[in-house]
Amino acid sequence: MPIIEGPARRLSRAGKGRHFLKTVFVLNGPNLNALGKREPGIYGGKTLAAIADDCKQAGAALGLEIDFRQSNHEGDLVDWIQEAADKAAAIVINPGAYGHTSIAIHDAIRAVAPLPVAEVHLSNIHAREPFRHVSMVAPVAVGMICGFGPLGYTLALQALAARL
Ligand code: DQA
């Protein structure tokens, strides 16, 4: 069951008003719902709910509405990227393992250009197994932050806020 929190549903008919333009979708891919108990030596002990709280706090300081979601299903992420074209000013995405494999997510991001997208990974994917060194998202993202744990989400929001 995908996790959806935030204002996008409420704002779905809001058109392109000022409030609406400051919404950032923060999208999370497979297995990230298990943060806190999943391989804490790699991903740390923080839960995804706590990361969502961090994002909302950082968003409030930056004047951004945060719409924080997670799904284990590739198609949900594609749907949400498409939805962001009409409802968000930018996307932060931790695509999880789909970042290494998903041409569909790559294509979805290309299709919503020039919507700025920041890729985040908690771990340093370049210091891990070779299959994690490739990102399908990085070529279509504004930038990528990896290896700084949950702080990466806040850094990505700051970077996007500076562009908006
Ligand atoms: C991850 C890195 C991916 O390689 C892995 O499949 C994940 C988490 C990260 O945040 O470090 O699920 O995206």
Separation of alpha carbons 86 and 84, rounded Å: 5
Determine the pLDDT at residue 13: 40
Does 133 map to a domain? yes
Does 12 map to a domain? no
Q: Does any ligand 1 atom lie closer than 6 A to the CB of residue 35?
A: no
Enumerate residues 6+ apart whose C-beta is below 8 A from 81.
Answer: 25, 27, 91, 93, 105, 108, 109, 111, 112
Q: Are 99 and 136 in contact (CB under 8 A)?
A: yes
Determine the pLDDT at residue 6: 54
Question: What are the CA-CA distances from residue 80 to residues 27, 62, 161 (Å)?
Answer: 8, 23, 20
Bond from prior residue into 95 cis (ω within 30 degrees of 0): no
Number of domains in the chain: 1
Q: How far is CA 79 from the centre of its chain?
A: 13
Determine the pLDDT at residue 3: 66
Does 143 map to a domain? yes
Range(s) of the domain holding residue 45: 21-163
pLDDT-based confidence at 5, cuts 50/70/90? low
* Percentage above 90 pLDDT, the chain: 87
Does 9 map to a domain? no
Enumerate residues 6+ apart whose C-beta is below 8 A from 121.
Answer: 94, 99, 144, 145, 146, 147, 152
Does 32 map to a domain? yes
Place of tokens 């008919």: 13
Reply yes or no on whether the pLDDT at 130 is more than 80.
yes
Q: Atom 1 of ligand 1 has which residue's CA nearest to it?
A: 96
Reply yes or no on whether the pLDDT at 11 is more than 80.
no
Report the predicted TM-score, pTM, of the whole model to 2 decimal places: 0.89
Enumerate residues 6+ apart whose C-beta is below 8 A from 127.
Answer: 147
To the query of whether residue 153 is one of the catalytic residues in this protein, the response is: no
- The residue from 19, 43, 73, 100 that is catalytic is 43
Q: Are 152 and 141 in contact (CB under 8 A)?
A: no
Reply yes or no on whether the pLDDT at 43 is more than 80.
yes
Does 8 map to a domain? no
* Percentage above 70 pLDDT, the chain: 87
Question: For residue 146, which atom of ligand 1 is closest to its CA?
Answer: 11
E strands, 6-152, are 23-28, 65-70, 90-94, 117-121, 143-146
To the query of whether residue 121 is one of the catalytic residues in this protein, the response is: yes
122 Cα: distance to centroid of ligand 1 (angstroms): 7
CATH number at residue 152: 3.40.50.9100
Backbone phi, then psi, for 13, in 5-degree steps?
-105, 20
Does 116 map to a domain? yes
Reply yes or no on whether the pLDDT at 45 is more than 80.
yes
Q: pLDDT per residue over 73-84, tens digit each?
A: 999 999 999 999
100 Cα: distance to centroid of ligand 1 (angstroms): 9
Question: For residue 100, which atom of ligand 1 is closest to its CA?
Answer: 4
Does 7 map to a domain? no
Which of 41, 77, 74, 61 has its CA nearest to residue 149? 41
Which of 130, 111, 64 has its CA nearest to residue 92? 64
